[in-house]
Each structure stands twice: as C-alpha cells, then as structure tokens.
Amino acid sequence: MVNTRFGLWDGVACAVVLALALAIAVGIGVSAKGDVLTVVVSVDGKTVLQKPLVGTEGHFPIEGTYPLTVCVSGGRVWVEDATCPGHDCQKQGAVSAAGQTVVCLPGRVTVAVVGDGGADVTVG
C-alpha cells in the first residue's frame, strides 16, 4: 500500500523550494531596479549631452543642422521641438527604457536611453 499522507520531510522539501523561489524572485527584482538609466544625446556620432534619466528635469537645446529641444521629465525623454522637415523625431514620442532611441535622421541626432547592464525584461 502507498503512503499518501503529508509527512515532515514533505514539508521540509516544500519549504526549501519556496525559499529558493523567493530568493530568485528577489534577486531578479533587485538587479532590474538597480539599473541606472542615462540619456545620451549624440549629433553626428558625438555625444553632446549625457544626463541621468531619473532625477533630471528640463529642456535641453541641441545645436546642429536642424536644432531641436530634448525634454527630460518624469523618467522619460522626448524631442519636444524640432526644426527638421517632417518632425518625425517629435512624432516618435517619449522613451523610458534602456535600449529605446528617438532619432532625427535629417539632423543626424540620436536620443538614447542606456543602462548599466541590468535586466532586459522585468516580469511582474
């Protein structure tokens, strides 16, 4: 006959599995939240502005073939005003995650959010 009762060692095994799952979940959450995000604005491949994304508030004029204004607020960055034809860079909207970029092709300007190598995806 098979013993189907929940015993002491079954409880210990469940506790160990739950403790490991909790430790992994906390570790993933800490590494994702510890990611320091930076706004990097480049004109013709040269960095002209570098600011922390979180904690920076303001409008930053960027000189170039087609001058534009980059706005950083609330942990997001976007092109607020542009003199380029089409204004596609303004239409791209705000970005806030590592790897996201706003590009002004005629002005050869990139506004990128870069991280320090934290998690690519946060679940939960």
| Paired tokens of 80 | 């607020």
pLDDT at site 23: 61
pLDDT at site 30: 42
For residue 50, which phi and psi values (nearest 5 degrees)?
A: -145, 115
* Torsion on CA atoms 6, 10, 12, 16, rounded to nearest 10: -130
**Domain layout of the chain by residue ranges:** 38-114
> What is the pTM assigned to this prediction?
0.66
In sign, the C-alpha dihedral spanning 98, 99, 102, 105 is positive
pLDDT at site 11: 73
- Report yes or no: 53 and 35 within 8 Å, Cβ to Cβ: no
Domain spanning 38-114, CATH architecture: Sandwich (2.60)
* Tens-binned pLDDT, residue by residue, of the chain (124 aa): 676 777 777 777 667 666 666 666 555 444 445 568 999 999 999 999 999 999 999 999 999 999 999 999 999 999 999 999 999 999 999 999 999 999 999 999 999 999 865 555 556 5
